[in-house]
Amino acid sequence: MERDRTRISLRIRHPSRTAAELCGALPFAPGRTWDVGAPRTDPRGTPRPGRYGESYATFPLSEGAGPPAEAVAATAERVAPYGERFLAWRAEGGTVEFFVGWFMEGGNAGDEFGPELLSRLGALGIGLSLDIYSGADA
């Protein structure tokens, strides 16, 4: 597993709260954000058709080598103090998830996201989204 790397971001979507509200409620530095109803843009700021249907904020939280499940568990502990807030946002129609970029250099790899870890994420109101890259994409 030493050849594996992960990059984990916390992603939050909300139907009515502003990105500033979401960001202001957490101590993490935000990455990309937008507000519900704002004109759409690509990551470089180029206008795109339409308007956003929800507010969004992403927070880069972790990057490093090693087993992805271990990185997710460590990141879950880092955000655990905000679990009640995440659950409240979900109750209002929002979503909260870890976006995990899993980078493998050649071959294949695997990892177990055990029931204890998945239960912990669920108790915090955090979904798990995996994006897997291998070979030249890693």
* pTM score: 0.91
The pLDDT tens digits of the residues spanning 88-136 come to 999 999 999 999 999 987 777 889 999 999 999 999 999 999 999 886 5
When pLDDT is cut at 50, 70 and 90, the band that residue 1 belongs to is very low
The reported pLDDT for the residue numbered 117 is: 98
CA nearest 51: which of 61, 41, 42? 41
The pLDDT tens digits of the residues spanning 54-78 come to 999 999 999 999 889 999 999 999 9
